[in-house]
Amino acid sequence: MLSASHQNTSTATGTEEVLGNGADATSSSANDQEQPVQEVTVAMSEEDIQALKAALQKQRSGGDQEVGLVQGILEEVRLISWPNPLQALSDTLVVIAIVAGTAVSLFLVNTVLSDISKQIY
């Protein structure tokens, strides 16, 4: 994102952008001296600037957002490391065992607490 101190200057070889670092030039240090704003100069050709403007406009307008979304999903699906059927079966059995063990544990805790509650009340 460009800061408020963004400037475009034209030269014979193209356009240069001067960007400030976003620091407040009026902020004071411990000894109340002003800190200068550092500037960065980036040389860009007119074609580069036009391409950046077009890309920003396309991004802001949501141009090919749906196509980009589908392509992104397909790329992610290709990156998934799919298990073989034996690994999928063993993982499924582990999940079933954990769920069954948790259910038994909760049933036992509920039974004990229910008995304690009946004795107190």
- Which pLDDT tens digit goes with each residue over 53-91? 877 777 776 655 666 788 888 888 888 888 999 999 999
pTM tops 0.95: no
37 vs 18: CA distance, rounded Å: 12
Sequence-distant (6+) residues with CB within 8 A of 108 are none
Domain around 98? 83-121
Q: Identify whether 31 is part of a domain.
A: no
Sequence-distant (6+) residues with CB within 8 A of 49 are 15
Q: Identify whether 116 is part of a domain.
A: yes
Q: Identify whether 74 is part of a domain.
A: no
Q: Identify whether 41 is part of a domain.
A: no
Q: Identify whether 64 is part of a domain.
A: no
Do 35 and 14 form a contact (C-beta atoms < 8 A)? no
Q: In what order do the strands lie in the sheet with 15-20?
A: 7-10, 15-20, 39-44
Among 2, 11, 10, 15, smallest CA distance to 42 is for: 15
Q: Identify whether 9 is part of a domain.
A: no
Give the pLDDT of residue 77: 86
Find the helix or strand (DSSP H, E) in which 17 lies: strand 15-20
Among 35, 44, 34, smallest CA distance to 6 is for: 44
Q: Identify whether 67 is part of a domain.
A: no
Domain count, the chain: 1
Give the CA radius of gyration of the chain: 32
Q: Identify whether 11 is part of a domain.
A: no
Mean pLDDT of 13-27: 47
